[in-house]
Structure 1
Amino acid sequence: MEIKLCSLLPLSLCFFLLFNCCFAQIEQQQGFLSERLQQQHRRGRPRTDCRIQSLSAREPTRKFDSEAGFTEFWDRNSEEFECAGVAAVRNVIQPQGLLLPHYNNAPQLLYIVKGSGLLGTVIPGCAETFESPQRERSMRGQESREGESQYRTGGDRHQKVRQFRQGDVLALPAGVTLWFYNNGQDRLVTVALLDTSNPTNQLDQQFRHFFLAGNPNPREQSGSRYEEEIRARREQEQGEQPQRRQSGNLFDGFEQDLLADVFNVDQELVRNLQGREDQRGRIVRAENFDVLSPEFEEEEEEEEQSHRQRREREHEGRRGSQPNGLEETICTMRLRENLGRPSRADVYNPRGGHISTLNSHKLPILNFLQLSAERGVLYQNAVMAPLWNMNAHSILYILRGTGRIQVVGDAGNCVFNDEVREGQMLVVPQNFAVVKKAGNQGLEYIAFKTNEQAMTSPLAGRLSAIRAMPEEVLMNSYQISRQEARSLKYNREETTVFAGRRSSRGYSTRAMEYALTAVEAFLKA
């Protein structure tokens, strides 16, 4: 018996190693297949050939005023936004302002530019885990039938409400009902990127808001004249009668009798539900707003950070990055990550600035959204190494300061070379090389990327493509001496953020021209 067991032991070990190798290969193939399907899907959806000859740093073109704030949209018909398959929106919410409940047809990454507030999400199938204290006391006080009635009517239940603040990134899936409330003392400013080319959006690439309350668009400030002219021309060509523009919520389209029957309420309440006479817009004032939510405290943040670091250490060394289904469920999944703290930087240069990245390793829900983000802070005159995004489009939003950005295309042509300022947005297509130089006041930005694990490849610095190539390749490619090749490779020891030089404006301009020339030469080689 002992001899049989000894002979089976090596055989069992062989099967164990074989199965592990097979599972590792299957997991790796699934990862590559997922990446390939995502890229194929994104290539098939855009309506243009992405033959971009020039880019523009754009500001919002449409504005909708509301009672307690306003909403702005970037031109979704611009060539670069169509090519990237994205849309962008900015909300400015006054204190005690409530952005009405709604859902979108595409997943989004939302960055808190300024202020703080509450986020409410309604995820189908998830329990109402937040209960007001009044209900709990009524339950403990009475266990009779009368007490049960008081329990049903005396309190409130709802799904989890999350507190957020400046510097947070919120990951919000498509089709999930959302609302925002500004419970702070300052204005709440948010900017969001919506991935209309995501597989979850199976319609066209039009960005759609579906509001569940109010009258979202009672009056538009500017920017819709072009769309109105197109709509009128189309109606004239098709021989249709002009129709009244609908701007209500979803309930406005249903018959009142049907809604009264569905909710078992009277007609007057149904009219409030439809909001046809509501002129407050999509952001309304809510002075008496008492929602159950845990306080946002520094201790909770530190505890969450410690838990995240411990979990990352536990997962370190494991194969692949696909979730195993046991770490988090959709009902308890984290939707928020802060990128505003310098201590969370992934790249840090005390003389140049810091870069913080957010991908699916740090926030697992990004695996489903297929999005990621990067926040950059460049000090005065600092330069970020020229690089290209290997597997994603990058949409830059300027948070603060000014700077100069240059973008170079595949033919070595400069498609963007201009100053950027706060509030502007710039689309950098995949594989286009980009270099950023901060102005005298520094430059801060948030970059939304259309891949959950976006990767970049720098052209200068310690981890660059130039440094990784042999000297002979550089000498023959650029027709330079060995000493010049070594200068290209080793003159910069930083990684991606280079310290700025306190010099004249003329030198700064020459430095940018030299960087652009180097990028063009590399792309043409």
Structure 2
Amino acid sequence: MASALSSRLLPLGLCFIVLFNGCFAQLERSQQQKQSRLRGRSDCQIDRISAREPNRVLQSEAGVSEFWVSDENDELDCAGVEVARHTINTKGLFLPFYANAPELVYVVRGSGIQGSAFPGCPETFESSSEGAGRGKEQFLDRHQKVFRYKEGDILALPAGAVHWTYNDGDTQIVLIVLRDTSNVANQLDRNFRKFFLAGNPQSQQVGYGQPEREHAGGSGGWGKQKLHEQESSNIFNGFDDQILQEVFKVEFNIVNQLKGQKDNRGFIVRADNFDVLIPEKQEYQRSSPRNGIEENICSTELRANIADPDRADVYNPRGGRLSSLNGHKLPILNWLQLSAEKGVLYKNAVLAPNYNLNSHSIIYVTSGNSRLQIVRNDGTAVFDGFVQQGQLIVVPQNFAVVKKAGEQGCEWVAFKTNDNAITTQLAGRFSFLRALPEEVVANSYEISREQAKELKYNRQEGVVLSPTSGSTRQKGMNALLNVLFS
């Protein structure tokens, strides 16, 4: 009997061993992927952070692309990211491309059509019309799915997949794009490379002047500027004409068009005749438990809205709101290892002092302005000033930051370099002070027990703090800010 029982338990034990090893291996792979952001990282010493305007612009036939060109060892380079802003005019088509690093896109303004093609996925969309004189339906085109997006949406663009977008609306589309060049998907180096599959993207630079490859001012430790945006032909231009004719079975004149050597429209072109089948009603992805289906790359959601007030994670009717989008809400972000946050502060409201536990935060102000203070580990303020609409600023991992909206309020989107970014509060109902005994607070700051109690409990709000008058509550808040940021 013991032998029979052992024979039954042995396979079960083996299953547990395999399951444990599989889970451990998966966890280990996840850790390796997250640690891969450190690959090739130089020793960054952030002495100063700037609120930046884009410093390079490329003009196309139907739009404009602007870039925040980083310097070696500045905060963008140290965060391992690049940022761009695309303005697409009505009937503008952003030509198909693939990239060596994932991109996370926030739709600042407008609405349009997005298409993404993944290798090995089926062509599930079919465009059809009536056959001439026969009354029978004929299928004219088959392609992978496309979807609509609108203002406030986040679009996830995995590396290696082919992406395009089209503006079929009546207003311009404005997109702010984060490129994660330190992602594990980018195995060559930390430079962003976009591979266009059509056109001749030799766009003309206008407006901001030609940035030099060698940046002057070596005393600040900022060396070469990174200029890797493609300004040349599409990838088919490098192949032999006869080979292209053979593999596509087309005439030479089509091969010439494929190469796009005489195309001077840039990479955002005007497409007046554009008719793509799109389902009329599309529901936006809401928070739901994982079931494995959404994580299939062929059927996964690539879009979620982050600006809808109904979906706010934190809401203060006197202060504003915060909405987060991470891998739990949009599973594709687990693959990209990125997340996002949308913030709205009302007039003079404050976002409680905090730091990002496991990610950098790249903030783009979409409207209004706010005063920011950013403090590094030695207590030095590396930024203290106002960030205006259209400007970008980086808050490095673990650097403490406090934000107070101006007279017009402030709205922003923050891209974070972790699919489950965690923020730790330094003030408010969820701060570390609430977790400490009063005795620890009093002795740490050399204050009385009564003052320690004020620091802990005067502010009952959690993350978004409403503006207050010169009351005792405000004095308690000022005391904390003096301790943290003086």
TM-score exceeds 0.5: yes
Query: Which structure has greater helix proportion?
Result: 1
Distance 1:276 1:24 in 2: 55
Q: Deviations over 1:153-206 (max 9, x none)?
A: x61111101100000001110011111100111110001101100011001111
Name the amino acid aligned to 2:250. Answer: V
Distance 1:108 1:60 in 2: 18
Alpha-carbon shift at residue 392 of structure 1 (Å): 0.5
Mapping of residues 435-514 of structure 1, within 5 Å: 435-501=402-468
Which residue in 2 is equivalent to 1:56?
A: 50
Which residue in 2 is equivalent to 1:225?
A: 210
Which residue in 1 is equivalent to 2:335?
A: 368
Name the amino acid aligned to 1:433. Answer: A
Which residue in 2 is equivalent to 1:518?
A: 483
Query: CA 1:427/1:20 → structure 2, altered by over 3 Å: closer, same or farther?
Result: farther
C-alpha root-mean-square deviation of aligned residues, in Å? 3.1
Distance 1:278 1:514 in 2: 62
Query: CA 1:403/1:126 → structure 2, altered by over 3 Å: closer, same or farther?
Result: same
State whether structure 2 residue 241 is matched by structure 1 residue 256: yes
Indicate which of 182, 194, 197 corresponds to 1:209.
194
Mapping of residues 113-124 of structure 1, within 5 Å: 113-124=108-119
Query: CA 1:520/1:105 → structure 2, altered by over 3 Å: closer, same or farther?
Result: same
Cα contact 2:455–2:476 (8 A) shared by 1: no
Cα contact 1:64–1:217 (8 A) shared by 2: no
Which residue in 2 is equivalent to 1:318?
A: none
SS, match of residue 401 in structure 1: strand
Relative to structure 2, which stretch is displaced further, 444-453 or 210-219? 210-219
Alpha-carbon shift at residue 33 of structure 1 (Å): 3.0
Which residue in 2 is equivalent to 1:287?
A: 272
Alpha-carbon shift at residue 269 of structure 1 (Å): 1.4
Indicate which of 92, 100, 108 corresponds to 1:105.
100
Distance 1:385 1:114 in 2: 28
Distance 2:124 2:300 in 1: 14
State whether structure 2 residue 162 is matched by structure 1 residue 194: no
Alpha-carbon shift at residue 104 of structure 1 (Å): 1.1
Which residue in 1 is equivalent to 2:87?
A: 92
Name the amino acid aligned to 1:467. Answer: R
Cα contact 2:56–2:211 (8 A) shared by 1: no
Alpha-carbon shift at residue 27 of structure 1 (Å): 7.6
Which residue in 2 is equivalent to 1:162?
A: 147
SS, match of residue 120 in structure 1: strand
Q: Which runs of 5+ in 2 are unaligned?
A: 216-229
Query: CA 1:446/1:28 → structure 2, altered by over 3 Å: closer, same or farther?
Result: farther
Query: CA 1:414/1:229 → structure 2, altered by over 3 Å: closer, same or farther?
Result: closer
Indicate which of 296, 302, 325 corresponds to 1:329.
296
Cα contact 1:215–1:280 (8 A) shared by 2: yes
Query: CA 1:217/1:387 → structure 2, altered by over 3 Å: closer, same or farther?
Result: same
Which residue in 1 is equivalent to 2:222?
A: none
Alpha-carbon shift at residue 45 of structure 1 (Å): 2.7
Cα contact 2:365–2:412 (8 A) shared by 1: yes
Alpha-carbon shift at residue 501 of structure 1 (Å): 3.4
Relative to structure 2, which stretch is displaced further, 462-471 or 255-264? 255-264
State whether structure 2 residue 128 is matched by structure 1 residue 133: yes
SS, match of residue 421 in structure 2: coil
Distance 2:483 2:405 in 1: 19
Query: CA 1:287/1:356 → structure 2, altered by over 3 Å: closer, same or farther?
Result: same
Distance 2:300 2:406 in 1: 39
SS, match of residue 129 in structure 2: helix
Distance 1:502 1:343 in 2: 29
Q: Which runs of 5+ in 1 are unaligned?
A: 231-244, 316-323
Distance 2:151 2:76 in 1: 26
